[in-house]
Chains A and B, each alone.
Chain A
Amino acid sequence: MILGLISWARKRSPWIAHFCTGSCNACDIEILACLTPRYDIERFGAIVRGSIRHADILLVTGPVTRQVRDRLLRIYEQMPEPKYVVAVGTCAISGGVYRNSYNIYPGVDSVIPVTAYISGCPVKPENIINGLSFLLKKIGESE
């Protein structure tokens, strides 16, 4: 019963942490736009937290640069279980326009495991909401 309660709470208050691993800022401002009155993801109980230790979902934007890779791994280790990572934007999925650059890893999943992918360059806020609701459904099914 307690497990059911935890799962219910997790599904209704997914707290989000956002980490930029070398994106061009376009996806970042679209994530921020999701919090504001027109898109308002707070109706799903989601808030963006500064600290990764409070978060259930990690949104990663941008291709992973060599310099930021160690930080990303450290942040991933600090995250409490269960860990849900969402790759936001084309660069986070495959490297996007920066692919073939000497300083990036092609995609977040070459560094840490990823649960969901949201495509677009930059992603649209509607798309982020779609991805988030998909992830919430998945969380509900798995527990």
Chain B
Amino acid sequence: MATFDIPIGPQHPALPEPLLLKLEVEGETVVGVDFDVSYMHRGIEKLLETKTYFQGLPLVERICGICNAAHGLCYTLNVEKLYDKEIPPRAQYLRLIVEELSRIHSHLLWLGVAAFEIGFNTMFMYTWRDREYVMDMLEAITGNRVTTEYSQIGGVRRDISPELADKLLKTMNVVEERTKYYIKVALTEPTIAKRTQGVGYLSPEDAKSTCSVGPIIRASGIKFDIRADDPYAAHEEVPFNVITYDSCDVFGRVVVRAQELLECVNMIRYALKNLPSGPFRIKLPMKPNAGEALTRVEAPRGELLHYTLCEGTPKPYRYKVRTPTLANLGALRAMLTSKGRYVVNIGDVPIIYGSIDPCICCTARVQFIDIKKDKTWTWTLDEIRNRSRRMRV
């Protein structure tokens, strides 16, 4: 049978963000896929080199608007590694609380969007209504609904008062109750089961070989969570379970994310109960020590990696970000390719694509294309360094 190429995007009803999916189809079966994620390239890494470490934080938080708490946390932890100073434990606990709150908001958001993709609009409205409770708490703690900038270099921006802690605990009760309802719905509702079971299959071997991260690899039955494997910001002291599920399909990803919500609620409760006293911020000098630093953080979408090279100046010489969606694109290709008995129907493409919780905003990469010679290439680190030196002079 002849194959056809179907382009989806960059502006398409099924996609919230500009992305070009080139599907290769045989009838209704998808046999191959290619992506173009370059539509959102804003040159953030280059822009960071023109700002000091302290000025860079607002920009880093705007790499991605949904997992901004993880980006801000990763950036501050990374820069703090360049100073040899102890960060107060109260700050680490407060960071954990806001990070987990933002994970709750991100997972509720995803549950709603995934329900929307499979045509289950009632669930979309329910989860987004409950998400507003979490947004109210984020606004009360940090001062802004979405882009919070709570974690600062040297600590956090504000303290939590006892009244606010009480309010947060009450909100957690509401969230827990609603989450239990969503888990019940996800496990028993036939609409969800029919549209998600056996769809978007990713075997544990494929999950490992494509280096997927976050809820995708955990839904393939592999225990991989940076919070447990490489603890940061009080994750060593706050107990939690790494949720896995072994169905390896979209259904598993729904269950993993829903059950992670309960873990987040328990972590916030424990952290509030055992909140250490003391200062919540220390002052650090403008100039960090020269050196390199690399930090990994478990963002709601998976492992997030920040790297910096500092020459002892207030501005970074190089800043590098590897986001979870980029790591999961390899897994997405495996999920969207029919193989043997596993058949991908073209109607399932939106939910399979949605199941990795895509965030193209943070993923965009630069690629050079010569239209005349039909040649594409990327730059190595040395070439980028040479060019940035030239631009600096």
Interface residues of A (CB under 8 A from B): 19-30, 32-33, 36-38, 49-52, 63, 65, 67-68, 71, 75, 96-98, 100-104, 121-122, 124
- CB of B40 closer than 8 Å to a CB of A: yes
Q: Which residues of A contact B38 (CB under 8 A)?
A: 67
- CB of B236 closer than 8 Å to a CB of A: no
The answer to whether A103 and B41 touch across the interface, beta carbons within 8 angstroms, is: yes
Which of chain B's residues has its CB closest to A72's CB?
A: B11
What are 19 residue pairs bridging A and B, where the CB atoms are less than 8 Å apart in the complex?
A19-B11, A20-B18, A22-B39, A22-B42, A24-B63, A26-B65, A27-B65, A29-B109, A29-B146, A32-B128, A36-B125, A49-B13, A65-B39, A67-B39, A98-B59, A103-B42, A104-B43, A122-B145, A124-B145
What CA separation (Å) do A36 and B133 show in the bound complex? 13
Tell which of A98, A102, A122, A124 touches B65, judged by Cβ atoms closer than 8 Å: A122
The answer to whether A65 and B12 touch across the interface, beta carbons within 8 angstroms, is: no
Which of chain A's residues has its CB closest to B116's CB?
A: A32
What CA separation (Å) do A20 and B140 show in the bound complex? 28
The answer to whether A71 and B10 touch across the interface, beta carbons within 8 angstroms, is: yes
User: How big is the B interface, by class?
Assistant: 35 or more
Tell which of A25, A30, A49 touches B361, judged by Cβ atoms closer than 8 Å: A25
Which of chain B's residues has its CB closest to A48's CB?
A: B13
12 more A-B residue pairs beyond the given contacts A33-B132, A101-B46, with a C-beta to C-beta distance below 8 A: A23-B65, A23-B361, A24-B62, A24-B147, A24-B362, A25-B66, A37-B125, A50-B14, A97-B58, A103-B42, A104-B43, A122-B145
What CA separation (Å) do A68 and B10 show in the bound complex? 9
What CA separation (Å) do A23 and B145 show in the bound complex? 17
- CB of B348 closer than 8 Å to a CB of A: no
The answer to whether B68 and A26 touch across the interface, beta carbons within 8 angstroms, is: yes
Q: How far is the CB of A7 from chain B (nearest CB, A)?
A: 28
Q: Known: A29-B146, A98-B44, A100-B50. Is A68-B64 also a contact (CB below 8 A)?
A: no
Q: How far is the CB of B23 from chain A (nearest CB, A)?
A: 18
The answer to whether B17 and A26 touch across the interface, beta carbons within 8 angstroms, is: no
What CA separation (Å) do A127 and B141 show in the bound complex? 21
Q: How far is the CB of B71 from chain A (nearest CB, A)?
A: 10
The answer to whether B50 and A104 touch across the interface, beta carbons within 8 angstroms, is: no
What CA separation (Å) do A38 and B17 show in the bound complex? 24
- CB of B7 closer than 8 Å to a CB of A: no
What CA separation (Å) do A28 and B16 show in the bound complex? 8
Which of chain B's residues has its CB closest to A37's CB?
A: B129
The answer to whether A101 and B47 touch across the interface, beta carbons within 8 angstroms, is: yes
